[in-house]
Amino acid sequence: MSAKQQIARLALSLVVEPGDARLRDLLAVHPPERVLLAVRGGTHLPGHRIPEVWTERASDLDGRVERARSRADAAGLRWVCPGDRDWPSALGDLDHVVPLHGTAGAPLGLWVRGAANLAALCAKGVALVGARDCTTYGAEVASDLGADLTDAGWTVVSGAAYGIDGCAHRGALAMGGATVAVLACGADLDYPRSHASLLARIADDGLVVSEQAPGESPLKGRFLSRNRIIAALSRGTIVVEAAVRSGSLNTLNWADQLGRTTMGLPGPVTSKSSGGVHLAVREGKAVLVTDARDVVEELGGLGAEHEQLEIPATEFDRMSPVMQATLDGLDWRQQRTPIEIAAAVRLSAREVRAALGDLERRGLVSRTDGGWVLVRRADTG
């Protein structure tokens, strides 16, 4: 992508409401600089009308660009767009989904606060979202899950809102991990206000991003269009607490549209806060998960197991099914007895004991006072 195209994208993002499906359709057939020219001139492109409001807004385009850039500079934001090294190509999937409430398309670019590489962080991104007015149960579970997923090498992506979102980010930060917050307002604004220090901490190790220009307000519709970015930056979305009509289910819908893994963490049926999650699981729109282990399993399948185990795939594939299952039942830190492993993976304790012996000889597991754990290999080449 040329520098000219990148500048055209930035300009377009300032005159067209981000996520407008009509712009997505235009960009599917015309390069951005051509679309920008048509918008500025108020001329139409073959087969496409240019909405008048775009042209009206473009009348002050230079001023808009100038203001956005100076706000961005003041807040330390960068503009990242296709062609940049840290642009997550996964966002392109948004160009191929059915519009939801008129919203569709990859963002033209993202304003980014923080030094980390967005593409690298999101290569193993997992969205963790949920109710603003969560219960203490939800808060506890979300921060544990955020922490455990971070510990397992995943990047928690969320919306920095009150409730579940904030807890998910805090859980990640507590593990010293990088986490990504996607805002519905400019990435320079602290929204919600009382999350200012949380957002600052997120930007320190991770990133605060938005497709909205610096200074833009979090208008209502922007939360829904923002949700598509959370879903697209992640390999899967987990909802922890959502009432039946919660906006968090909107993120789940986007994830589903994008072919990402959709997951729901249940709660007491007596709590309305879990009603939307239960409905989604019941209707087959989300898989039930109870902890980070379940999530990693859903996200990665066997592939992720290899990665986690740091065992070459060929070595893993050559193992007997009993050995593979036994590895599944082990953890890095938590010691497990053969009986516990057997219960978890549906083997007999005798099978597990035999497999553990073989795995120990291969240096993959080790015996401790309290049971067995996985062994980290120094280097797998």
Closest distance between a second copy and the C-beta of residue 101, in Å? 13
Q: Is the dihedral of CA 192, 198, 201, 205 positive or negative?
A: negative
Q: Is 360 in the site for a second copy (CB under 8 A)?
A: no
Binding-site residue total for a second copy (CB under 8 A)? 24
Which stretch, 51-59, 79-87, 263-271, 320-328, contacts a second copy (CB under 8 A)?
Answer: 263-271
Q: How many CB atoms lie within 10 A of CB 333?
A: 7
Q: Is 137 in the site for a second copy (CB under 8 A)?
A: yes
Read off the DSSP letter of residue 336.
Answer: B
Give me the 281-310 binding string for a second copy, x by CB under 8 A, dash otherwise: xx----xxxxx--x----------------
- Per the CB < 8 A criterion, the answer to whether 248 and 161 are in contact is no
Q: Which residue of 28, 29, 219, 244 would you call a contact of a second copy, by CB under 8 A?
A: 244
CB closer to a second copy, 13 vs 261? 261
For helices 32-41 and 3-15, angle between their N-to-C axes, nearest 10 degrees: 40
What tokens appear for 343 in the block? 């219960």
Q: Closest by alpha carbon to 330, among 376, 378, 377, 372?
A: 372
The interface mask with a second copy, positions 69-88, x = CB under 8 A, is: --------------------
Element at 182 (helix H, strand E): strand 179-182
Return the residue of 245, 333, 361, 376 that touches a second copy, per CB under 8 A. Answer: 245
**344 touches a second copy by CB under 8 A:** yes
Exactly one of 88, 214, 267, 338 binds a second copy (CB under 8 A); that residue is: 267
Helix (H) or strand (E) holding 54: helix 52-58
Looking only at the bridges linking them, the beta strands covering 155-158 and 125-130 are parallel
Contacting positions for a second copy (CB under 8 A): 137, 140-141, 244-245, 265-270, 274-275, 278, 281-282, 287-291, 294, 343-344
